[in-house]
Amino acid sequence: MDKIILSEMDANFKNEIAAQPGAEHIQRCFTCGTCTAACPVAEVNDDYDPRKIIRMCILGMKKEVLSSDILWMCSRCYTCYALCPQGVKFSDVLDVLRGMAIKEGYVPKEQYKDAKELDKFVQELRCEIINQKLHPEGDHEKKVKEMIEKELKVTWKK
Ligand code: SF4
Ligand code: SF4
Protein backbone atom coordinates (compact mmCIF):
# COMPACT_ATOMS: atom_id res chain seq x y z
CA MET A 1 0.00 0.00 0.00
CA ASP A 2 2.93 2.35 0.61
CA LYS A 3 4.83 1.74 -2.60
CA ILE A 4 4.34 4.49 -5.18
CA ILE A 5 4.76 3.47 -8.84
CA LEU A 6 4.49 6.64 -10.92
CA SER A 7 3.42 4.87 -14.11
CA GLU A 8 0.44 3.40 -12.23
CA MET A 9 -0.79 6.72 -10.84
CA ASP A 10 -4.15 7.96 -12.09
CA ALA A 11 -4.04 11.75 -12.12
CA ASN A 12 -7.79 11.91 -12.72
CA PHE A 13 -8.71 9.83 -9.65
CA LYS A 14 -9.18 12.86 -7.38
CA ASN A 15 -11.44 14.49 -9.99
CA GLU A 16 -13.52 11.33 -10.32
CA ILE A 17 -13.98 11.31 -6.55
CA ALA A 18 -14.71 15.04 -6.35
CA ALA A 19 -17.41 14.65 -9.01
CA GLN A 20 -19.48 12.52 -6.60
CA PRO A 21 -21.95 14.09 -4.14
CA GLY A 22 -20.40 14.44 -0.69
CA ALA A 23 -16.81 14.21 -1.87
CA GLU A 24 -16.58 17.57 -3.67
CA HIS A 25 -14.07 19.07 -1.25
CA ILE A 26 -11.46 16.30 -1.15
CA GLN A 27 -8.80 18.58 -2.59
CA ARG A 28 -9.22 21.07 0.22
CA CYS A 29 -7.34 18.68 2.55
CA PHE A 30 -4.14 20.27 3.85
CA THR A 31 -3.04 17.14 5.77
CA CYS A 32 -3.49 18.60 9.23
CA GLY A 33 -4.23 15.13 10.63
CA THR A 34 -7.17 16.20 12.81
CA CYS A 35 -9.30 13.39 11.35
CA THR A 36 -6.69 10.73 12.10
CA ALA A 37 -6.00 12.02 15.60
CA ALA A 38 -9.71 11.90 16.50
CA CYS A 39 -10.66 8.68 14.70
CA PRO A 40 -11.56 5.80 17.07
CA VAL A 41 -10.61 3.20 14.46
CA ALA A 42 -7.17 4.78 13.89
CA GLU A 43 -6.66 4.60 17.65
CA VAL A 44 -6.88 0.81 17.64
CA ASN A 45 -5.68 0.02 14.10
CA ASP A 46 -2.26 1.39 13.10
CA ASP A 47 -2.98 0.73 9.42
CA TYR A 48 -6.07 2.95 9.42
CA ASP A 49 -5.28 6.59 8.69
CA PRO A 50 -7.92 8.89 7.10
CA ARG A 51 -5.32 11.56 6.29
CA LYS A 52 -3.21 8.98 4.44
CA ILE A 53 -6.21 7.68 2.49
CA ILE A 54 -6.99 11.22 1.31
CA ARG A 55 -3.33 11.73 0.30
CA MET A 56 -3.33 8.47 -1.66
CA CYS A 57 -6.47 9.60 -3.50
CA ILE A 58 -4.96 12.96 -4.37
CA LEU A 59 -1.74 11.29 -5.57
CA GLY A 60 -3.79 9.06 -7.86
CA MET A 61 -3.21 5.70 -6.16
CA LYS A 62 -6.53 4.43 -7.42
CA LYS A 63 -5.82 0.70 -7.50
CA GLU A 64 -4.19 0.69 -4.06
CA VAL A 65 -7.06 2.64 -2.51
CA LEU A 66 -9.98 0.80 -4.12
CA SER A 67 -8.55 -2.66 -3.49
CA SER A 68 -7.63 -1.98 0.13
CA ASP A 69 -9.44 -3.66 3.05
CA ILE A 70 -8.92 -0.45 4.96
CA LEU A 71 -11.89 1.17 3.17
CA TRP A 72 -14.20 -1.12 5.11
CA MET A 73 -12.84 -0.48 8.61
CA CYS A 74 -14.61 2.84 9.30
CA SER A 75 -17.20 2.66 12.08
CA ARG A 76 -19.28 5.60 10.74
CA CYS A 77 -18.98 7.78 13.82
CA TYR A 78 -18.62 10.96 11.72
CA THR A 79 -16.04 12.50 14.05
CA CYS A 80 -13.78 13.26 11.09
CA TYR A 81 -16.68 14.94 9.31
CA ALA A 82 -17.43 17.14 12.30
CA LEU A 83 -13.85 18.18 13.07
CA CYS A 84 -12.23 18.73 9.67
CA PRO A 85 -11.29 22.44 9.43
CA GLN A 86 -11.49 22.26 5.64
CA GLY A 87 -14.92 20.64 5.35
CA VAL A 88 -13.53 17.63 3.50
CA LYS A 89 -16.25 15.29 4.89
CA PHE A 90 -13.98 12.24 4.99
CA SER A 91 -16.78 9.84 5.98
CA ASP A 92 -18.68 10.83 2.81
CA VAL A 93 -15.51 10.51 0.74
CA LEU A 94 -15.17 7.00 2.11
CA ASP A 95 -18.70 6.15 1.02
CA VAL A 96 -17.85 7.33 -2.48
CA LEU A 97 -14.68 5.19 -2.47
CA ARG A 98 -16.66 2.14 -1.33
CA GLY A 99 -19.14 2.69 -4.15
CA MET A 100 -16.31 3.00 -6.68
CA ALA A 101 -14.63 -0.16 -5.35
CA ILE A 102 -17.85 -2.09 -5.96
CA LYS A 103 -18.62 -0.49 -9.32
CA GLU A 104 -15.13 -1.20 -10.62
CA GLY A 105 -15.17 -4.81 -9.43
CA TYR A 106 -12.59 -4.62 -6.63
CA VAL A 107 -15.04 -6.11 -4.12
CA PRO A 108 -18.33 -8.04 -4.46
CA LYS A 109 -21.59 -6.05 -4.45
CA GLU A 110 -22.75 -7.69 -1.22
CA GLN A 111 -19.84 -6.13 0.67
CA TYR A 112 -21.60 -2.75 0.85
CA LYS A 113 -24.75 -4.29 2.32
CA ASP A 114 -22.70 -6.35 4.78
CA ALA A 115 -20.79 -3.24 5.88
CA LYS A 116 -24.07 -1.32 6.40
CA GLU A 117 -25.51 -4.17 8.47
CA LEU A 118 -22.35 -4.36 10.55
CA ASP A 119 -22.43 -0.58 11.15
CA LYS A 120 -26.03 -0.87 12.37
CA PHE A 121 -25.17 -3.82 14.62
CA VAL A 122 -22.20 -1.98 16.15
CA GLN A 123 -24.31 1.13 16.88
CA GLU A 124 -27.11 -0.94 18.43
CA LEU A 125 -24.61 -2.83 20.54
CA ARG A 126 -23.02 0.42 21.68
CA CYS A 127 -26.44 1.79 22.72
CA GLU A 128 -27.19 -1.33 24.75
CA ILE A 129 -23.79 -1.25 26.49
CA ILE A 130 -24.24 2.42 27.39
CA ASN A 131 -27.77 1.72 28.63
CA GLN A 132 -26.40 -1.13 30.74
CA LYS A 133 -23.90 1.23 32.36
CA LEU A 134 -26.51 3.97 32.94
CA HIS A 135 -29.32 1.64 34.02
CA PRO A 136 -27.76 -1.57 35.41
CA GLU A 137 -31.16 -2.55 36.83
CA GLY A 138 -32.49 -3.17 33.29
CA ASP A 139 -32.07 -6.27 31.11
CA HIS A 140 -29.47 -4.73 28.80
CA GLU A 141 -26.73 -7.19 29.72
CA LYS A 142 -28.93 -10.07 28.56
CA LYS A 143 -29.71 -8.21 25.33
CA VAL A 144 -26.00 -7.56 24.69
CA LYS A 145 -25.20 -11.27 25.09
CA GLU A 146 -28.07 -12.26 22.78
CA MET A 147 -27.00 -9.73 20.14
CA ILE A 148 -23.40 -10.97 20.16
CA GLU A 149 -24.45 -14.63 19.98
CA LYS A 150 -26.80 -13.89 17.07
CA GLU A 151 -24.15 -11.90 15.19
CA LEU A 152 -21.56 -14.66 15.65
CA LYS A 153 -24.00 -17.22 14.24
CA VAL A 154 -24.78 -15.00 11.22
CA THR A 155 -21.11 -14.21 10.55
CA TRP A 156 -19.93 -17.80 10.92
CA LYS A 157 -22.73 -19.09 8.72
CA LYS A 158 -21.35 -16.93 5.89
S1 SF4 B 1 -9.03 16.88 9.13
FE2 SF4 B 1 -9.60 17.46 7.02
S3 SF4 B 1 -7.92 18.76 6.30
FE4 SF4 B 1 -7.18 17.70 8.13
S5 SF4 B 1 -6.16 15.83 7.28
FE6 SF4 B 1 -8.27 15.27 7.75
S7 SF4 B 1 -9.39 15.56 5.82
FE8 SF4 B 1 -7.45 16.69 5.65
S1 SF4 C 1 -16.31 8.22 10.49
FE2 SF4 C 1 -14.80 6.57 10.16
S3 SF4 C 1 -12.94 7.61 9.51
FE4 SF4 C 1 -14.27 9.17 10.42
S5 SF4 C 1 -13.58 9.31 12.55
FE6 SF4 C 1 -15.31 7.85 12.47
S7 SF4 C 1 -14.37 5.83 12.22
FE8 SF4 C 1 -12.80 7.37 11.73
Domain ranges within the chain, ordered by starting residue: 9-103, 110-157
Residue closest via CA to ligand 1's atom 1 equals 84
Query: Residue 82's pLDDT is what?
Result: 96
**Over the stretch 73-126, which tens digit does the pLDDT of each residue have?**
998 889 999 999 999 999 999 999 999 999 999 988 888 888 888 888 888 998
Q: Give ligand 2 pocket residues (Cβ under 6 A).
A: 39-41, 50, 74-80, 90-91
Region 148-152 average pLDDT: 87
Q: Which residues contact 119 (CB under 8 A, 6 or more apart)?
A: 75, 76
Please give the model's pTM, rounded to 2 decimal places: 0.85
Pocket test for ligand 2, best of 54, 91, 94, 118 (most atoms within 8 A of CB): 91
The more confidently predicted of residues 3 and 30 is 30
Q: Are 55 and 31 in contact (CB under 8 A)?
A: yes
From 6, 117, 98, 11, select the one nearest 58 (Cα to Cα).
11
pLDDT more than 90, % of the chain: 60
pLDDT digits (tens, 9 = 90+) for 42-61: 999 999 999 999 999 999 99
Q: What is the pLDDT of residue 2?
A: 56
